[in-house]
Amino acid sequence: MFLTRIRRRAAVLAAVVPVTLTVVSACSSGGSGANTYGTIDAGQLKVAIESYMPYTGLKSGTIDGLDGDIINAVAAKLHLTVQPQLTDFNGMLGGVQSQRVDIAVGGVAWSKDREKQGLFTDPPYYSPPAMAVHGDATFHTIADLAGHNVGTVTGYVWVKAIQDVPGATLHTYPDANGVLADLAAGRIDVAFLDPLLILYTQKQRPDMGFRTEYLAPPSDAQVAAHPSYQYFQPYQTGFYVPKQESALAKAVSEQIDAMYSDGELAKLITKWGGDPAQFLRPSAGMTADRRAVDRPATWNAPSA
């Protein structure tokens, strides 16, 4: 659901062109040829991203943005060389599931369906349900979405939730640029995207004429009646790793947990415009969601 990431600036409404760049973010593993973390190539970390600032982007051949800063820091501590691979969101997921990349970063929300086809690290941050809104209507509850055109990106967890809203019409797009272009043109009324993206684009492109609103999370009774509404709740993100690379997933999780403890994540969240109190504290139920699914019964969602 969770999910996060503009994964290209809203000013550039063009197709994503897949490219592969190699960046040395740290020394490789000692030159011995040992593959400590089971990556595709020893000492290398193939990282799938989409251009989705302020979460991920390429700047002078290096992954930029919040998730970029986090994965670069983790890779340096693990002595891995980062190899960015630029694609779209579906390409990120598919690259992991087919083991063409070692990890996908940038707004990937944890879900049981995705977990069945890949591994998730511990959440590097959490994300509240934010909306970009066009026009004069206000949207505070799920019921307020009825009768409106609602957009999001194909593959995002909000797709299922929007489909279940009575009277709402779903519009999906290959990337956030398409969502925001139609929102600015008035072809959709509401867009569900990641919160830092909405705030970032609103600041960069005030001419697009949208504002940010936050949806009141659905009640337990609403989620019981409509399980997909869970995706309208705050969600936990994760870095997504192939099933074959469990050692990598474990090592990255350990580094993420250490960054909660030493304050490094709080500094990075603040750097990119977020509030650590919102982004680094799990909501009720997040621990239970993963216990006995992809985490042991003793696991607790990390918190600053």
In the chain, which segments carry CATH 3.40.190.10?
19-126+235-290, 129-232
Report which secondary-structure segment, H or E, holds 266: helix 264-271
Q: Tell me the longest C-alpha to C-alpha distance in the chain.
A: 62
> Using an 8 Å Cβ cutoff, are 70 and 268 in contact?
yes
Q: What is the pLDDT of residues 106-131, one digit of tens each?
A: 989 898 889 999 999 999 999 988 89
Q: Which of 73, 98, 125 is nearest to 238 (CA)?
A: 125
Q: What is the pLDDT of residue 199?
A: 86
Please tell me the distance from the alpha carbon of residue 249 to that of residue 257, in angstroms, as a whole number: 12
CATH class entry, domain 19-126+235-290: alpha beta
Fold for 129-232, please state it.
D-Maltodextrin-Binding Protein; domain 2 (3.40.190)
Please give the model's pTM, rounded to 2 decimal places: 0.75
Q: Evaluate whether 103 touches 166 at the Cβ level (below 8 Å).
A: no
Residue range 166-207, pLDDT digits in tens: 999 999 999 899 999 999 999 999 999 988 999 889 888 999
Positive or negative, the CA dihedral 240, 290, 1, 214 is: negative
